[in-house]
Amino acid sequence: MKRFSLLLLVLLLGWMVYERENVWAFPDIISAYTAKEYCSCRYVMNNDAEYCRGYVKQWLPISQFSDDPASKTITVSGMGRSNSAQWQSERQGCRLNP
């Protein structure tokens, strides 16, 4: 059992090294997805804020969420990264801010 656990650990570390770019990008995905999808749900589809919060809820928690209705900007922080999305227009929808 001990050898199996060690082998599994070595394989996991090897996979992480091989996929290091994707593993490194993963924390950004959580906040970017939440900001963009909430913005689209709220300001493109004109759904209720409570509905949109449920729509973007994930099993990984976010640490900060901000919805500024005046500028139609959503800012989300999670896993140490922060992203924001802003409504552009009816035709363009929402866009992640650089």
Tell me the Cα Rg of the chain. 18
Instruction: Output the pLDDT for position 92.
Output: 95
Using alpha carbons, list the distances in angstroms from residue 54 to 8, 28, 34, 48, 78: 36, 20, 11, 10, 16
The pLDDT-based confidence of 98 (bands split at 50, 70, 90) is confident
Please state, for a pLDDT cut of 70, what percent of the chain lies above it.
100
Edge-to-edge strand ranges of the sheet holding 73-78: 64-68, 73-78, 81-89, 93-96
Q: Which domain holds residue 92?
A: 28-96
Mean pLDDT over 71-91 rounds to: 95
Into how many domains does the chain fold?
Answer: 1
Structure pTM?
A: 0.79
Q: Is residue 72 part of a domain?
A: yes
Q: Is residue 57 part of a domain?
A: yes
Which DSSP string do the residues of 4-37 spell out, in sequence order? HHHHHHHHHHHHHHHTHHHHHHHHHHHHHHHHHH
Q: Is residue 1 part of a domain?
A: no
Tens-digit pLDDT profile for residues 20-65: 888 788 888 999 999 999 999 999 999 999 999 999 998 888 999 9
